[in-house]
Amino acid sequence: MKLGFIAHNDLESIEKDAAFAAEQGFQGLEFNWWGGFKDVTEAHIKQTAKILQKHGVGCCMLGLWGFNHLSKDKAERKQALALLDRAIKFAGILGAEVLTTGAGEMPGEPLGVKVKEFAKVFGPILKKLEKAKLTPSFYPMHGNSFLSGLSAYEAVWEACPQVKIKLDPANWKHHGDDYLEALEKYGGRVGYIHIKEHLYRDGRLASQPAAGMGDIEWGKVFAFLYEHDYRGWLSVEPHGPKWGRGELRWRMLRLTKKYIQTYLD
């Protein structure tokens, strides 16, 4: 397993993140784009790749979030799929190992219809990802993804077994789903792991501090990852108004790495 973290997207911050990663022993940086991805240029991506090379840091993953690849609106779907093609190209420039995106959404349609359309739309895309040597990782539960839990993934696997889970235990817990069940049953289908902590008080999310300071059962998470021989990335996600910004962001990354390393052989 390799450690990385989510980086910022502007070049000045990428330089700082890459320098920090190299200094602290992180092996890679992850980059995510939402709506602004349509304005990201190839020149920007090439500059990012140069910064990574300069500091000897890899690219864990490129993520494309929020676009609806299954939209019933033809123009919206066309744009989303064009941006996905562009993301595959940019991932190649960065040397990313994983590409993460949503499965798309068709509000009001039953799961079977969504899965059938997903297989139709993503069949050729999954072949492109395989050719590009990119792990196809799909996030659940938000941002235009009909993958609302294990049952949705199970239905997709019947048509597209190469689909992998982008698993964030904190997100699964917050959604009311059992992340340990997902790992116990399907740890072999996990393509990417986010390390994010949630600390709850009286049923509310009170903080998102460094790993080990909250309610996620990381020891059990790693037990199942080892049982399934997971060899992918562990990407730390600084998140929230406190631990995701400023000096606490750097501290969160250092403390999380220190804690997670107790589970790495």
- Render pLDDT for 71-88 as a digit per residue (tens, 0 to 9): 999 999 999 999 999 999
Amino acid present at 240: G
Residue with tokens 């052989």, as numbered in its chain = 265
State the DSSP code for 7.
P
Q: pLDDT tens across 202-226, in order? A: 999 999 999 999 999 999 999 999 9
User: Nearest 5 degrees, angle CA 145-CA 181-CA 156?
Assistant: 35
CATH of the domain at 175: 3.20.20.150
Residue 23: exposure state from Cβ atoms within 10 A (0-12, 13-18, ≥19): exposed
Q: Which residues, at least 6 apart from 257, have a Cβ–Cβ distance to it below 8 Å?
A: 3, 24, 25, 26, 236
Q: What percent of the chain lies above the pLDDT cut of 90?
A: 99
Q: What's the whole-number mean pLDDT along residues 109-115? A: 97
Tokens of 217: 């059962």
Which segments of the chain are extended strands (E)?
Answer: 2-6, 28-33, 58-64, 98-102, 135-139, 164-167, 190-195, 199-201, 204-207, 233-236
Domain that holds residue 92: 2-263
pLDDT band at 144 (very low <50, low <70, confident <90, very high): very high
Model confidence at 195, pLDDT cuts 50, 70, 90, reads: very high
Domain count, the chain: 1
What tens digit of pLDDT does each residue of 145-190 get?
999 999 999 999 999 999 999 999 999 999 999 999 999 999 999 9
